[in-house]
Amino acid sequence: MRDFTVWVGMDVHADSVVVSVFGREGFDPVERFEVMPDDRGLARLVKRLRAHGSRVGCVYEAGPCGYELQRFLSRRGLACAVTAPSLIPQRPGDRVKTDKRDADKLGRLYRSGELTLISVPDEQQEAVRDLVRAREDAQEDLLRRRHRLSKFLLRHGQRYRDGQSWTLRHWAFIRAIRFVDPNAVAVLDEYVIGVHAQIERVKKLDRLLEEASKRPEHASKVDRFKVLRGVGTITAMTILSETGDLRRYGKASQFMSSTGLVPSEHSSGARRRQGAITRTGNAHLRRVLVEAAWHYRHRPFVGAAIRNRRNGQPDAILAIAHRADARLHDKFRRLTTRGKRSTETAVAVARELAGFVWAIGQEC
């Protein structure tokens, strides 16, 4: 970054890119302009940036416009980085927000080295990540459709009490329900069809993820992450697609922090006060780690499924898995015994599980 002679902050939107160019000194930009993010506008952007020499560094916030601008500029020999929006320093007294001010702020902070930059995925990694997130969206839609059906039945006095929901017995109970009013019959049929259609959608995406996990570039890494309890194919693919190369994190604590699972802190003087987790980081990664952490509430018995997943893996990977079994189960047991709520315990265990994921990532 210090090799740059010009720093460029860009506020990127679907229909405009506001650009602020800063030299080595000065509070105000030496140039500010706006372009359209189309072929003509981006060509004009490249031309005006090249006019400042070859040592130009650009930055913009990660957002809904994705990484296409970063890739476009990089292919044309212009250094471009992307910063994490949640980690951009904010001044408490700043109450005015415009596109120009945002571009100016990014340029100044980039020049001073105050921005936290993210790793930009390549097109292949982003495609896998989109597939993982599409499956996550489908699962959420399935949950909503099931809720609509169950609440519709509850409003009509139909409540299932003979075991877990959405089993074969539960579906037999739903199929046996008969309404007199044709409108109620139509609504029930529509909700049932919607749930079954969504189940098929989830299954289709599961198959696509399973196929993607067996490709040469993913297979060995997925198998290594799966030695951990609670980490199946979908969780392993989520870790791979959301993090990329875990070796870019120098310490396990840095990876833990990127998941948002570390506690917030407000300490002063001799008093240290910690609060809830920061939730500053990758929410998709945080969710799968918490889900996997629940598996460590059980005694670490090596059953057939775990044995098959660990079979043939390197000794270094197996040693990490065995340490995780003992340490995380013991932590889950100790915290719940002390009266900690199981939901809070799962988050604490997920934080340490992230450390074991990082350790395996160093071996991939």
What pLDDT digit, counting tens, does each position of 214-251 carry? 999 999 999 999 999 999 999 999 999 999 899 999 99
| 332 band by pLDDT with thresholds 50, 70 and 90 | very high
- 1 in any annotated domain: no
Q: CA-CA distances (angstroms) from residue 60 to 46, 108, 112, 165, 278?
A: 15, 12, 15, 47, 23
Confidence of residue 14 (pLDDT cuts 50, 70, 90): very high
Three-state DSSP at 226 gives: coil
pLDDT (mean) for 125-152: 97
First to last CA, the chain: 29
Q: Does residue 316 share a domain with residue 237?
A: yes
Share of the chain above pLDDT 90, in %: 90
Q: 223 and 357: one domain?
A: yes
- Percent helix, strand and coil across the chain, each rounded to 5? 55, 10, 30
Residue 117 lies in a domain: no
Residue 152 lies in domain: 123-213
Lowest-confidence segment of 83-97, 142-156, 170-184, 218-232 by average pLDDT: 83-97
Domain boundary among 213, 235, 255: 213
Domain assignment present for 128: yes
96 is a domain residue: yes
Exposed e or buried b for every residue in 209-241, given b needs 16+ CB within 10 A? beebbeeeebeebbbbbbbbbbbbbbbbbbbbb
Q: Give the end of a domain, one of 159, 193, 213.
A: 213
Tell me, what's the pLDDT at 86?
86
Q: Does the pLDDT of residue 1 top 80, yes or no?
A: no
Counting every residue written for the chain, the total comes to 364
Same domain for 273 and 190: no
- Give me the mean pLDDT over the 37-60 stretch: 95
Residues 224 and 320 in one domain: yes
Residue 289 CB coordination number (10 Å): 27
3-state secondary structure of 275: strand
27 and 90: one domain? yes
* pLDDT computed for residue 2 by the predictor: 58
In a domain, 54, yes or no: yes
For residues 359 and 346, give the distance between their C-alpha atoms in angstroms, rounded to a whole number. 20
Cα-based angle 46, 6, 71 (whole degrees, multiple of 5): 40
Whole-number average pLDDT of the chain? 95
The Cα 171–Cα 275 span in angstroms is 44
Give the chain's domain count.
3
DSSP H helices, 85-164, are: 99-112, 123-155
